[in-house]
Structure 1
Amino acid sequence: MKITHVNPTTLHCNPAFSQVVTVEGSGKTIYVGGQNAVNTDGKIIGDDLGTQTEQAMRNVTTALSAANATPKDVVKLTIYIVQGHSIQDAFLAARKIEGWNHPTAVTVLVVHALAHPKFLVEIEAIAAVKK
């Protein structure tokens, strides 16, 4: 399976993300549902966006691992951030987590609220791995 990150010269190029990611060849696609800043006991970790983003990214990593994938296999992230919080804080926190330093395709949405009033971020991922 071949994963290619594409940044057309006619679009803005940012080293933090790719404009397009293509996947070619035989493999499987993994969809990780929205992950929040909860630990295995269901306790919310952190009351600031940075700490919650780190926990949510660790949860995404754990979910990927359960499907025999790694962060490097992620082709698309969707990040939901509660309004009033810095998107840059979320990106900086996410890049602290091991394996999450490659520029995948990313969509960030600022939302009014998430499923729990203390949640500040929720992260979904799509990964592609060779069979």
Structure 2
Amino acid sequence: MAVTHLNPASLHRSPVYAAGAVGSGTRTVYVGGQNGTDAAGAIEGDLVTQTEQALRNVLAVLAEAGATQREVVRLAIYVKDGADIQEGFGAAQEVWGNYAVPLTVVVVAGLARPEAVVEIEAVAVLD
């Protein structure tokens, strides 16, 4: 099985990180944890702003693989302790839309980048 790493041009790039991967034999897309990082690598704003950007990043990786929200079979959302999760859900609705998906939300002490308050990963299965 060959693996294709995905790094959409609209996302901040790192030489040691792939935003997602597609396995040619499985047709499964794995989107690595996305923060509210913009194309320049900056993370700004509150949970609402960061959730919207993180989901736009997830959608960009999915699009690079030829997928949309419809193919997502799982989302995992990591939220920094103290953030209002309900605000995050509201922001998610704005960007994600009405696409039901199995979801896990985990409250964590912190994320790899201190200014990040949310990280979102996804798994999608292509037809």
Q: Shorter-chain TM-score category? A: 0.7 to 0.9
Amino acid at match of 1:37: G
Listed as ranges, the gaps of 5+ residues in structure 2 are: 1-24
Aligned equivalent of 1:58: 56
Aligned positions of 1:1-131 closer than 5 A: 28-46=27-45, 48-97=46-95, 99-130=96-127
Q: Contact 1:53/1:90 (CA < 8 Å) preserved in 2?
A: yes
Q: Which has the larger radius of gyration?
A: 1
Q: How far did 1:45 drift?
A: 3.3
Amino acid at match of 1:45: E
When normalised by structure 2's length, the TM-score is: 0.77
Q: Contact 1:37/1:119 (CA < 8 Å) preserved in 2?
A: yes
- Cα deviation per residue 1:7-52 (whole Å; 9 max; x = unaligned)? xxxxxxxxxxxxxxxxxxx961110000001111101132x10110
Q: Alignment length, in residue pairs?
A: 103
- Cα deviation per residue 1:55-102 (whole Å; 9 max; x = unaligned)? 0000000010111101111110000000011111111101101x5321
2-side partners of 1:72 and 1:95: how far apart? 14
| Residue identity (%) | 49
SS at match of 2:27: strand
Runs of 4+ with deviation above 6 angstroms = none
Q: Which has the higher strand share?
A: 1
If asked which structure has higher relative contact order (CA below 8 Å, sep 6+), I would say 1
2-side partners of 1:33 and 1:100: how far apart? 21
When normalised by structure 1's length, the TM-score is: 0.75
Q: Contact 2:44/2:115 (CA < 8 Å) preserved in 1?
A: no
